[in-house]
Structure 1
Amino acid sequence: MKRLLTYIFIFGVILLAACSSPQYFHDTSSFERQKELKNTRSANVFGDIFLGVTSVCMAAAFDGEVEFYPTEQQFKKIILINPTQDTMYVNMLTDLYWDESNYCDFMDIRIPPKMECKVVVPMNANYNLYFSPTPESHDDEMLEIFTSDIKRIALKPNLTTLGDNNK
């Protein structure tokens, strides 16, 4: 019994850590939007699991075939990695609307040195990702990303510089 309680406790801690709020989001609207996206993604996953189990049970009970087609994935996790010794300031801008009047942008993400940040984003979306080791915008670097094509991004300074054209 004691061992079972230990396993339940460990599972609960892992579940709470997986469902924790985005800790590196310092813009209130971006923080709330990220929580909404995580909740929507979780609801979609649990809904698919429930429908799959129900479909299998119904097929077994009525001696039929399993006819379950999962919903198309709508969101995915992108990992932003800060390999530098400085805090990285990140803004992610898109032309995709989240609701009637707001874009699905994420502003003021601050990633500590040698850490990573998981961001849930919509699938098939184009984002302009601006990042720099300073909070000012004059030295930002920009990457264009398509969310379906990428999983991890290491935000290294001078990543977008192609070469010295001043020679």
Structure 2
Amino acid sequence: MENIIVLSGKVKYTITLEPTVWIFDDRKIDLTTYFSSTSNPSNELEEYTKSISKHWDREITEGAIYPPTLKTEKKYEKEKVLTGSFGIPFQPFLKNAEPDETAAFLVIKTTTSEHEIPLEKAMNLVLGFSNAGKPLSEDGPVHVYFGDGSNQQEPIKHVREFIVK
């Protein structure tokens, strides 16, 4: 139960977050490259369209039979999951909780302190849940990174709860 984080407060729905299952989530991002990229974050529909387009082009040029390179790609992706450092955007969870119109802040409760940030800034948070292929069991279950990467070297650790105020 120590890995469970609750998102509550001035929200329509209280959300329970379980970081150990996010490794299987398609929304996960690679933390080793996420903050170093200078491009603007693209929307999910654009990413999905590019992905499907690439797959469609491959089927047209090579047929529906998967070439050996696809097997190699799958093996690489499996190894990446076992050795990578990953995070997940906080925005979908916050949107699903449906914050009240009067809510203005997100309080991040840790075992030793509280951090209060504006709700607009909270929409860009990234929750780190894996480092070098391992869950963040010692100082986790998640690390909170600001979307601009300003606290990349010193993320908020030992997170226990998110409260919308």
TM-score by length of 2: 0.28
Larger C-alpha radius of gyration, 1 or 2?
1
